[in-house]
Amino acid sequence: MGIEELTSGGKLRPVTRWGEPVMHAKTRQVTAFDDELRQLVRDMFATMEAAHGVGLAATQVGVDLALFIYDCPDADDINRVGAICNPVVTLPEGDNRNLESTEEGCLSLPGGYQPLARPDHAVCTGLDPWGQPVTVTGTGTLARCLQHETDHLNGTVFGDRLSTRMRRKLYAQAEQLAHLYPADWPVTPKATSAGGTASASA
């Protein structure tokens, strides 16, 4: 009984885009830790891998459950993999709070990246896909991912945290590349183009 058995065997699902109601509403708590839930986790891992993401919330495959997965490095460049149901993120306060501004992207607004300052440390508590308590301490990209994905489950997209000017730039960026992403991406792969970005999307 480990996350490794849920990182394969899934089928691709289309990534839900910003603007769809499920992306902007608070999710339902997970109450049934059954095979259906674990198959959803498998599908999410398959979809995230195909989309080259580092994190994915259930809302991003159109499911309004408080669940997200991640596969991304921490500040020590150690890759961390997991799935958390009903997550609660705790962020440092006062002198312990250190903001780090880094380009952030979202698989649900593919092609758009803008800098966003977030705390460089986050602790996320919740339940694993078997209903067992789990605590994840995140630094680096993982800290950002834990915050980004938990935001999704509360109906917040990272564009909501940007200034109006930066949000306009983000949407313009995504609009320029929208033709590369089919409506059912990544079920239908992204069209090829020259160049690209190495920033992480969640």
Nearest in space to 135 (alpha carbons), one of 95, 67, 176, 87:
87
CA distance 202 to 125: 19
Which residue did the predictor score with more confidence, 145 or 198?
145
49, 93, 100, 149: which one is catalytic?
A: 149
149 is catalytic: yes
Question: pLDDT tens for residues 41-84?
Answer: 999 999 999 999 999 999 999 999 999 999 999 999 999 999 99
CA distance 41 to 4: 11
pLDDT over 80 at 5, yes or no: yes
Side-chain-facing half-sphere of 35: CA atoms under 13 Å: 1
* End-to-end CA separation in angstroms for the chain: 26
Mean pLDDT of all residues in 8-30: 98
Q: What is the CATH code of the structural domain delimited by 3-178?
A: 3.90.45.10
Token pair of 40 as six digits: 């959803």
**What share of the chain has pLDDT > 90, as a percent?**
94
Question: pLDDT tens for residues 107-150?
Answer: 999 999 999 999 999 999 999 999 999 999 999 999 999 999 99
Q: Where are the domains of the chain?
A: 3-178
DSSP string, 146-185: HHHHHHHHTT--GGGGS-HHHHHHHHHHHHHHGGGS-TTT
